[in-house]
């Protein structure tokens, strides 16, 4: 075979493969002989039927077999000889119907290859700003209220149609006439259909003001914006306007616990001080993680800026596939019936969704290539792990260490930010 290599860009090559007629004829005759020895045709013993009858009856399958043999040999010999650093499986454009035993044949192969780039020492000279989040009394109070909310007791027989909703009341409602943009919503806009006035929060909405003063049977308009994928039917964190009416079904009185010794004992803490320390410690940990994620994200953005190169489309597409499957599972769970899941997956694989996810997928792939090279340059390997640690986790561990190394070189300025 003769292969012409056409450079499409830095990460794609188109291969034009010319197969001589002698090669085609030899492969075809070999396939014909195998079929002839296997099949029985009326009036002929096995292996004795005329070649022209075999060709006539099994022409399509013969050509398929010949094509598979040619392509298999191409992969095992010619592609190896070219020594391309392939990224993903090559895409073959070959039509068996055009193959003829007495003629030469040509097909094409599109190959994505791994990007090549110079690492140099730019990653050792970064200047970063670390936004260090600090726990405030306001954020501590919000955490305490969330804890109190989890222990709320709804009073039995407290539902009265004459109640006017106020702080401490649990309001149950149904969403009606919901729209996102100009289209009916496919899922509830709110993540639940109950709201405890004074303690709950919903997607940043001020439902305290919206529901205070409501009565059973009221229909209350609510407008705003959301990026929730279950509502917008978009996986791209696209912000869309919504409008909905909340029909109040019930208003119940509740017993909201105070943040006191009694609550501490109910939660199996030795004292209120111990509970207070635990809430603050959890909040401190959350603030620390947010600080760390922000710094690492800033560092990754700088790495992408310093090391810019084209990305193999096939790798980006594979990343999009992974993101779609992950987010379908995250947003819709496994509780949906198979037919619904099938519909959702089909819908979410639509081209507009893939286009919306493409930039994020590119960032992930870009990060991966850079961190892989950094790990090699710095001699970083994953810590020896037991058999229970999956290979992909070890890879992520290596990438994390590579990013840690970059951060160790960086000049970091700390900026204190209150956590509210």
Cα 372 from Cα 364, distance rounded (Å): 12
Cα 218 from Cα 239, distance rounded (Å): 28
Right CATH for 269-419 from 1.10.3120, 1.10.10, 1.10.3470, 3.40.50: 1.10.3120
- For 19, counting Cβ atoms within 10 Å of its Cβ (0-12 exposed, 13-18 middle, 19+ buried), the class is buried
**2-112: what CATH class?**
alpha beta
Query: What does residue 246 show for φ and ψ, rounded to 5 degrees?
Result: -105, 115
Q: Domain 152-256 belongs to what architecture?
A: Roll (3.10)
Cα 240 from Cα 179, distance rounded (Å): 10
**Segments in the chain below pLDDT 50:** 203, 235-237, 335, 385-388
C-alpha angle 320/323/329, rounded to 5°?
145
| Contact of 129 with 36, CB cutoff 8 Å | no
Boundaries of every domain in the chain:
2-112, 152-256, 269-419
Query: What does residue 47 show for φ and ψ, rounded to 5 degrees?
Result: 85, 0
**Residue 293: both structure tokens together:** 């994620």
Tell me 399's DSSP state: H
Rounded to a whole number, what is the largest CA-CA distance in the chain?
A: 97
Q: What residue has token string 């392939």?
A: 86
- Crossing angle between the packed helical segments 351-377 and 272-306, to the nearest 10 degrees: 90
End-to-end CA distance of the chain: 68
- For 44, counting Cβ atoms within 10 Å of its Cβ (0-12 exposed, 13-18 middle, 19+ buried), the class is middle
- For 235, counting Cβ atoms within 10 Å of its Cβ (0-12 exposed, 13-18 middle, 19+ buried), the class is buried
Q: What residue has token string 């300025």?
A: 413
Report the pLDDT value the prediction gives residue 207, as an integer from 0 to 100.
84
Report the pLDDT value the prediction gives residue 388, as an integer from 0 to 100.
47
Beta strands in 269-323 (DSSP E): none
Cα 245 from Cα 199, distance rounded (Å): 21
Report the pLDDT value the prediction gives residue 242, as an integer from 0 to 100.
82
């Amino acid at each position: 075979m003769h292969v012409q290599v056409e450079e499409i860009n830095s990460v794609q090559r188109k291969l034009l493969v010319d197969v001589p007629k002698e090669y085609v004829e030899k492969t075809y005759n070999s396939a014909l002989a195998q079929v002839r020895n296997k099949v029985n045709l009326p009036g002929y013993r096995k292996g004795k039927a005329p070649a022209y009858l075999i060709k006539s009856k099994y022409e399509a399958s013969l050509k398929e077999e010949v094509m598979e043999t040619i392509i298999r040999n191409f992969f095992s010999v010619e592609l190896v000889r070219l020594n391309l650093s392939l990224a993903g499986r090559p895409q073959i454009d070959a039509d068996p119907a055009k193959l003829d035993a007495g003629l030469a044949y040509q097909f094409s192969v599109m190959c994505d290859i791994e990007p090549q780039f110079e690492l140099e020492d730019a990653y050792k000279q970064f200047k970063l700003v670390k936004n260090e989040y600090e726990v405030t009394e306001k954020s501590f109070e919000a955490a305490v209220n969330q804890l109190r909310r989890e222990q709320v007791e709804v009073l039995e027989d407290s539902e009265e149609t004459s109640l006017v909703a106020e702080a401490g009341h649990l309001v149950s409602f149904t969403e009606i006439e919901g729209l996102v943009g100009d289209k009916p919503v496919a899922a509830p806009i709110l993540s639940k259909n109950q709201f405890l006035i004074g303690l709950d929060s919903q997607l940043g909405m001020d439902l305290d003001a919206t529901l205070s003063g409501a009565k059973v049977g009221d229909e209350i308009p609510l407008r705003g914006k959301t990026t929730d994928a279950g509502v917008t039917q978009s996986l791209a964190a696209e912000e869309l306007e919504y409008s909905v009416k909340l029909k109040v079904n019930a208003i119940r009185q509740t017993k909201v616990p105070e943040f006191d010794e009694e609550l501490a004992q109910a939660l199996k803490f030795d004292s209120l001080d111990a509970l207070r320390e635990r809430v603050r410690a959890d909040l401190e940990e959350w603030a620390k993680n947010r600080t760390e994620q922000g710094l690492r994200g800033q560092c990754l953005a700088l790495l992408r800026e310093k090391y810019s190169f084209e990305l193999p489309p096939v790798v980006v597409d594979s990343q999009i596939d992974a993101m779609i499957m992950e987010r379908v599972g995250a947003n819709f769970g496994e509780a949906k019936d198979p037919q619904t899941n099938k519909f959702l997956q089909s819908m979410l694989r639509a081209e507009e969704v893939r286009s919306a996810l493409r930039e994020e997928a590119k960032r992930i792939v870009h990060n991966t290539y850079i961190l892989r090279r950094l790990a090699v340059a710095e001699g970083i390997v994953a810590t020896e792990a037991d058999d229970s640690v999956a290979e992909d986790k070890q890879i992520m561990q290596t990438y994390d260490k590579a990013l840690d190394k970059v951060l160790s070189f960086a000049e970091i300025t700390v900026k204190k930010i209150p956590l509210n």
